[in-house]
């Protein structure tokens, strides 16, 4: 008899966990659809390019979620909005085309959900990946030199080479992974209005 009660208790716990994680999530997010902007004829949120989706995998493999979140929290006037991390709060519809939908919980570094607005210049993002302290001397973000190739500088510096002094006649050129990661970071922006999160 006791084993039957224990089995029912375990089954009930699993059922409630499933309902909370899967069923509730489906009813909250599963039926959401993008909004068509009639002025631009593009969907909001925008569909990221395939290159940006490749960059999302690089983002995950580099462990960026260990230090950064991808969600502007709170109501109007919250700390996230005051810091300038985004023009509005993040809502579930913003994650429609992000698979998987990373939210992140750690805030060792700033939230990145709108880094595509705050740091629109791809060269600045590249420099940050190479050495974050070039832009922010107090940054605790680790450098990512393995995302770059060191190539012998010919008579002409490559167009994509980072604007840093060449050492040992070598220039620093972003790899495919670095370019994809920057494309992903530039795709992170919520500068569009949604019914549940209008722009102020």
pLDDT tens-digit readout, 43-77: 888 888 889 999 999 999 998 888 899 988 888 76
Q: Which carries the bigger pLDDT value, residue 98 or residue 56?
A: 56
The model carries a pTM of 0.81
Domains recognised in the chain with CATH numbers: 33-187 (1.10.760.10)
Residue-wise pLDDT for 11-49, tens only, equals 887 877 766 666 666 666 667 888 888 888 888 888 888
Percent of the chain with pLDDT over 70: 90
Cα–Cα distance between 87 and 59 in angstroms, integer? Answer: 23
* pLDDT at residue 183 in the model: 96
**Per-residue pLDDT tens for 169-191?**
788 899 999 999 999 999 999 88
CB 112 within 8 Å of CB 69: yes
Asked if pLDDT for residue 81 goes beyond 80, the answer is yes
Token digits of residue 79:
């700390």
Select from 146, 135, 80 the least CA-distant residue to 113: 80
Residue 69 backbone zone (phi > 0: left; psi -120 to 50: alpha; other: beta): beta
């Amino acid at each position: 008899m006791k084993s039957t009660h224990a089995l029912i208790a375990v089954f009930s716990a699993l059922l409630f966990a499933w309902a909370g994680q899967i069923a509730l999530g489906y009813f909250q997010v599963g039926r959401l659809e993008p909004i068509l902007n009639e002025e631009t004829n593009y969907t909001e949120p925008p569909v990221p390019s395939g290159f940006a989706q490749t960059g999302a995998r690089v983002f995950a493999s580099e462990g960026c979620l260990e230090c950064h979140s991808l969600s502007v929290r709170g109501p109007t006037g919250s700390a996230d909005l005051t810091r300038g991390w985004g023009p509005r709060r993040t809502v579930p519809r913003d994650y429609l085309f992000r698979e998987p939908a990373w939210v992140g919980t750690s805030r060792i570094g700033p939230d990145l959900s709108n880094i595509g607005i705050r740091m629109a210049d791809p060269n600045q993002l590249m420099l940050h990946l190479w050495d974050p302290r070039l832009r922010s001397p107090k940054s605790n973000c680790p450098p990512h030199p393995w995302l770059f190739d060191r190539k012998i500088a010919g008579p002409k510096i490559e167009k994509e080479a980072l604007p840093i002094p060449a050492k040992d006649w070598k220039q620093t050129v972003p790899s495919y992974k670095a370019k994809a990661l920057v494309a992903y970071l530039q795709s992170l922006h919520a500068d569009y209005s949604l019914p549940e999160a209008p722009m102020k």
